[in-house]
Structures are given as structure tokens and as C-alpha cells.
Amino acid sequence: MIVALAAVAGIATLAGCDGRERAGAREAARPAPSRERPRLESTPPPPAGRAVSPGDPRAVAAAQAFLRDPVQREACGPYALITESAAARRAEWVSLCAAIAEPFEAEYRRRLGVPLHHPPAGTIVLFSERSRFRAYAASDPALPGGYAGFSLAAWGLVALPVGDIAAEEIARTLAHELAHLAHRRAFGVELPPWLAEGLADAVGDSAGPAGFAPFEGFAGVEGIRRRLVLGYRSGRADSLERLVSLDRDRFDRGTVSYDYEQSALFARFLLLDTRLAPRFRDWLAAQALRGESPTPNLRTSLASDWPELERRFRDWLEPGLGAGGPLEGRNP
């Protein structure tokens, strides 16, 4: 801009000693200024979410070091698969990939109502022995550990033990951990733990060796529903307002904790309730677009208060369970 203005000044100086006559001629020839505002070229916003690595090389190598040779590598839908499993079980993993990993994208979008940006990517490491998985999880304090498996979205890594585990549980865990990778692509920020776990369960809890069952009622979550109902009746399960306030350092830290059960079932309730589901999905979409904290207030977006949400949620779990009040459990 400075160079352009200097060039114009040079032309005016060369036009005459004082520049007034030539300048006046130029003013007469110049068209009248338009009253319309100039149109600015619009730049499309960057994609929401953040890309997932196909598998951080150091993270993948660290996990692979705990596998037994020979190590097998193959595709699992859009993901890479590394396993030490014997050839007899490889057909099972190929079938599981076709049932879970390939339709996962569409299932995630349909259930949660949020778009997935950036291509799906990541590496899945399967351990044929649970003891090897545990040794790997204990090898680095930065790893989250866990009994059934874990994912590291920033590294594009999913680690699962599979050797002595039923195919039904493997399918559910795989879908759950792939959902954590998808959260990064959809939202781009670390979600509150209740939301991250609850949405992952909303996708994973109905997964099985044959694919995804319909998302309805308590199918696939009957066991955790019964446990949470008992927790409310005994007064040991706390409020939903407390649940959504927890950060990762405080989530699931009690001697007896119902945080995971509440997260799975509260997210499911919000996705299935005919009145609340459209508002909840709109709130999720707003979070995905915002891509930063603070996020919009959940209670306000649902047009409800905590006592009402608590009562409706508990009555959904078991008719009459919410009659004891928003924060009180009932003894059997």
C-alpha cells in the first residue's frame, strides 16, 4: 500500500510545478464515487476440529515393543492395524474391522448430529495377552492405563487387549476408543470428561461383532443402569450438576464412583429424550463450531434447570426414582 501511494504522488508531481491544473483535470475526468459499499472477498472459515495423526511413530513404536513377534500389519477400514495375534484369529479382526471401523463415520455423525472434519486416521494396536497390554500401559506414566483399552487422540493411537476377551466386548471397546479419536476431529478441544466418555459410550455401547445395533432405550447398558439405580437409591450416587462440573483430575476419583455410569446414561438420555435431544444436538453443534472454551452453558441451552433435569433423568432410569427430590437418593 505504501508503494502504491508513493507512485501516485510521483505522477502528481510530474504533472506540473504545483500540480493544481493537472490535478483538476483528473478530478473532472474521475467518475463520481459509488454509494455502494465495496464487496470484500470472503475467506471460508477453516475446518472445525483438528486432524488426527495416522499414528505418531514414537508412540506406535513404544506400543509395538510389547508385542510378540511376528507382528502383523494390515488395514482396518481407514485405520492401520498392528497385532501379534495368531493367524487363526486374524479373520476375526478382519471381520470386526468391516463391522465396526468401516461404518463408524456414518454412525458417529448420525447419533451425535455433528460433522466430522479431516480424514479418519489412526493406528490400532491389538495385544493378544492382557498381561502384555498392562505391561505397556505401566511402562510410561504419561499413558492413561486402563483395564479394557485406551486411546490417545493427539497421537492417533488406540491400544486394546484382545486375547481372552469376548468379541462382543472387543467390538464395544473398539467403537468407544475410535469415538475418542473422532471427538478430536469434530470438536478440536478436550471435552469435559462426562461428555467425552458419555458420547463415546453412546456410539460404543451398541456395537457388536455384527455391527451397530439400533440406538434406543437401554439396549446394551442394562447392567450400568441397574448399578446407577442402586446408587441413587442408596444415596451414594451424586448429582448431575456435580458430574458436569468435574475436570479430568476429579472425574472417577472416589472410592465408590458412579461417574462413568452417570456419563454414559446422561448423554444417552439427552440424545434420546424427544424434547431435549434437538436442543442437546444443537448445543453439540455449537461446541463443534466454537472449537474453544468456554462452551455454551448446557443447562441454559436445554431450557431447563438442574432439579428438573435430575428428576426427568432419574424417572427415565426407573419410573418414580425422581420422586425423592433432585439430590436425594432413596433407600431400598
Q: Model confidence over 236-270: pLDDT tens digits?
A: 999 999 999 999 999 999 889 999 999 999 999 99
pLDDT of amino acid 286: 86
Q: How far is CA 131 from CA 8, 40, 67, 134, 139, in A?
A: 77, 61, 11, 5, 12
- The least confident of 32-41, 59-68, 177-186, 243-252 is 32-41
Q: What is residue 231's predicted lDDT score, i.e. its pLDDT?
A: 97
Residue 169, number of CB atoms within 10 A of its CB: 15
Cis bond upstream, residue 193 (ω within 30): no
The pLDDT of residue 31 is above 90: no
Q: Given this model, what pLDDT does residue 89 score? A: 76
Non-local (6+) Cβ contacts of 273 within 8 A are 312, 316
**Domain annotation for the chain: domains and CATH numbers:** 57-188 (3.40.30.160), 222-324 (no CATH)
Does position 190 have pLDDT exceeding 70, yes or no?
Answer: yes
Predicted confidence at residue 47, as pLDDT, reads 56
Which of the residue ranges 72-76, 182-186, 193-197, 227-231 would you say has the lowest mean pLDDT?
A: 72-76
If you count them, how many residues does the chain have? 332
Sign (positive/negative) of CA torsion 157, 162, 165, 167?
positive
| Mean pLDDT value of segment 145-170 | 91
Say what the pLDDT of residue 186 is.
95
Q: What mean pLDDT, rounded, does the chain reach?
A: 84
Q: For the residues 279-299, what does the mean pLDDT come to?
A: 79
Least confident of 20-34, 59-73, 109-123: 20-34
Q: What is the pLDDT of residue 145?
A: 74
Q: Which three cell numbers stand for residue 241?
A: 450438576
Q: What is the mean pLDDT of residues 5-19?
A: 37
pLDDT for res 182: 97
Question: Tell me, what's the pLDDT at 163?
Answer: 81
Tally Cβ neighbours within 10 Å of residue 311. Answer: 17
Cα 257 to Cα 142: distance, rounded to the nearest angstrom: 23
What does the pLDDT read at residue 111?
Answer: 96
Cis before residue 57, ω within 30 degrees of 0? Answer: no
Give the side-chain half-sphere CA count within 13 A for 112.
30
pLDDT category of residue 92 using cuts at 50, 70 and 90: confident
Give the other-Cβ count within 10 Å of 233's Cβ.
16
* Cβ atoms < 10 Å from Cβ of 77: 19
- Contacts of 249 by beta carbon, 8 Å cutoff, 6+ apart: none
Q: Are residues 127 and 160 in contact, defined by beta-carbon separation less than 8 angstroms?
A: yes
Angstrom distance (rounded) from CA 302 to CA 297 = 9
Structure confidence at residue 21 (pLDDT) = 39
Identify the burial level of 32 via C-beta atoms within 10 angstroms of its C-beta, where 0-12 means exposed, 13-18 middle and 19 or more buried. exposed
Percent of the chain at pLDDT above 90? 67
> How many Å apart are CA 235 and CA 57, to the nearest integer?
47
Q: Please give the grid coordinates belonging to residue 70.
A: 511376528
Tell me: pLDDT of 18 over 50: no
Tens-place pLDDT, residues 45-72: 555 789 999 999 999 999 999 999 889 8
H or E stretch at 160: strand 157-161
Residue 9 has pLDDT above 70, yes or no: no
- 322 pLDDT more than 80: yes
Structure confidence at residue 296 as a pLDDT band (50, 70, 90)? low
